Amino acid sequence: MKDGYLDARKSAEALIGIDEIFRYFLYKKSPELNSLEFDLPVRTRKGSWETLIPENIGEWIQLAMTTGGAYYAGSALKKMAQNDIGDSGFKDLFKGIVKGIKWVVQIGKHLKTLKKRKFDKVEFKETKGVQFVGIYNDEGEILYVPKIYLELFTEIPETIFNRLTQLVEEERKLKIGFSPSEKIDNDDTQKEVSISINEKGIFYKGKDEDDVLFPELVHNQYVELEGHITRGNENSNTIGFAYQNHILTCYPISGKIVEDRTYFFGDCIIRGYVNRMDKNGVYIEKRPRIAYMDILPTDKESNKDMFSK
């Protein structure tokens, strides 16, 4: 993107992606709207290239529900035309859609996949009338999610974010959130969510995810991989390493990751060995892990240089 502009083809792809995502979440929440033809109103801004859903979205939908002055005959649609969907109006309906999208992104980033469908180890708690379910990731970290949005996540198509996240690049993040003036609900993520280039592989499925990831990296092979460290977890003694749009889990052959904290969140080269052994000792892991000996700086500027004037 140059000077805040995005080319027409990519803009069209992004808008189609937004439309697909919103309709999916809308029809999951209100299946009776599936038979309704309407255009989703959006507005774009130069600079960060935002797509804004207007506050009067309910008026747009109600207008779509009229044809030559005649309302749709279905009782459910008549109820919606009166701006009363259950206990909430159209604005609350679309607000719930945004919250659902935000939670799916948050869960995907927590689990590093959209593929998870069952959770064996969970915790429960209730906060301000909202029932939360705590789910663990492979690093032993827990994320509390409202039950209704966790159920939504288990049914989400893995390719739902494809059109939108293909636009994510080194200098372009995808951000999803509410305007600062919007009241934050108790079941919201409480913050804006984003997808960066280091997380793109979680949401963008350019090919069949059942394929072996980096088949050229065979078990026990010595490798020197250039990438970017995205995280460090002292409890599991692992780091996340962004390599060719995927996040690989890496762990030191000996010692602790804190010894390598100088390289955290920076570009570097990892030297080590590929591990494709699963928890049962079988060499079938489709996503390789790297048991590393050491981490080296790249020829690029160090993190220290980034903060120098």
Query: ∠ at Cα 173 (266, 8), nearest 5°?
Result: 135
pLDDT tens track for 281-294: 555 578 899 999 99
Dist. CA 302–CA 259, nearest whole Å: 17
Provide the pairing of β-strand 43-45 with 142-146: unpaired
The low-confidence residues of the chain, meaning pLDDT below 50, are 1-4, 66-77, 81, 83-88, 208-209, 301-309
Q: Which two tokens stand for residue 60?
A: 């747009």
Q: Please give the single-letter amino acid code of residue 56.
A: N
Task: Catalogue the E-assigned strands of 64-202.
Answer: 66-67, 70-71, 122-127, 130-136, 142-146, 174-176, 193-195
Structural domains in the chain, CATH included, are: 8-203 (no CATH), 222-306 (2.40.50.140)
Question: What is the predicted pLDDT for the residue at 271?
Answer: 96
pLDDT tens track for 215-229: 899 888 999 999 999
Dihedral sign, Cα of residue 295, residue 299, residue 300, residue 301: positive
